[in-house]
Amino acid sequence: MSQAEGVNVQRRRVLIASTAAIGAAGVAAVATPFVRSWAPSAKAEAAGAAVTQDISSIEDGQMIVVKYRGKPIFVVKRTEDMLTTLDDVVPLLSDPDSSESLQPEYCANPTRSLEPGVLVVEGVCTHLGCAPNYRPDVGAADLGGNDWYGGFFCPCHGSKYDLAGRVYSGVPAPLNLPIPEYSMDGTILTVGEA
Ligand code: FES
């Protein structure tokens, strides 16, 4: 590979990934795999070009992060157990039906997604814009114990979101995490294109 090609490949590594796996004790362990994605050039990306990612290598319960228009896009492979929590957590949420939140029409449903098993959501807290942490560890003592069904926790001021990006009541963040335009073709995810 030439040096120029090497630089190109480097630039295409826009996907900074984090993963969490629930261990036997229910404790989340986080690693950071790097996954290649087909990204547009920096100029095209600034103009809002779509970003394509093969998500076939994401494991159940794992999250990766794709960069789109300078924002982190969280992509989570939700398990059946995770999907069950979306009903259980409803009484704790501020806007469980996402009626005041941003999402494409095709994601205006209980799972806020095209495919229930795949969550695609902007990783930007709706309070003041910090990046929430992925915390799938159900019952985490530091996040409310039995009232924590897994989701995202913003370390800046303590906002909490469920596994569909819906915000808990009584936290600083006013809205659910936005869902971007995206499409799925098999295991190929395209963010920025319906
Ligand atoms: S920025 Fe997330 S809680 Fe304030």
Q: For residues 53 and 38, is the Cβ–Cβ distance under 8 A?
A: yes
For residue 74, pLDDT beyond 70: yes
- CA–centroid distance, 7 to ligand 1, in Å, is 35
Q: Say yes or no to pLDDT of 77 above 90.
A: yes
Q: What is the mean pLDDT of residues 115-124?
A: 97
State the total domains in the chain: 1
Checking if the pLDDT of 12 tops 90, the result is no
Which of 46-50, 82-86, 152-156, 175-179 has the lowest average pLDDT? 46-50
pLDDT on residue 194: 82
CA 121, CA 129: separation in Å to the nearest integer?
14
Give the whole-number percent of the chain exceeding pLDDT 70: 76
Instruction: Please name the residue ranges forming H helices in 22-79.
Output: 42-46
pTM for the whole structure: 0.78
Residues within 6 Å of ligand 1 by CB: 125, 127-130, 154, 156-159, 172-173
* Spatial distance between the Cα atoms of 181 and 154, rounded to a whole number of angstroms: 23
Q: Residue 99: helix, strand or coil by DSSP? A: coil
With b meaning 16 or more CB within 10 Å and e meaning fewer, what string describes 93-103? bbebebeebeb
CA distances from 189 to 37, 76, 111, 184 (A): 10, 12, 17, 5
Give the integer Cα–Cα distance in Å for 159 and 127: 8
Amino acid letter, residue 173:
A
Would you state the pLDDT for residue 3? Answer: 46
- Whose alpha carbon is nearest atom 1 of ligand 1? 128
**At 158, is the pLDDT very low, low, confident or very high (cuts 50, 70, 90)?**
very high
Distance in angstroms between the alpha carbons of the first and the last residue of the chain: 35
Q: How far is the CA of 150 from the centre of ligand 1 (A)?
A: 18
- Give residue 60's domain range: 3-191
- What's the gap in Å between 112 CA and the centre of ligand 1? 21
Other CB atoms within 10 A of residue 80 CB: 9
Q: For residue 3, how far is its CA from the centre of ligand 1 (angstroms)?
A: 41
| pLDDT average, residue stretch 128-149 | 95
What's the CATH number where 122 sits?
2.102.10.10
Residue type, 71: K
Res 176: pLDDT: 97
**109's tokens:** 């449903």
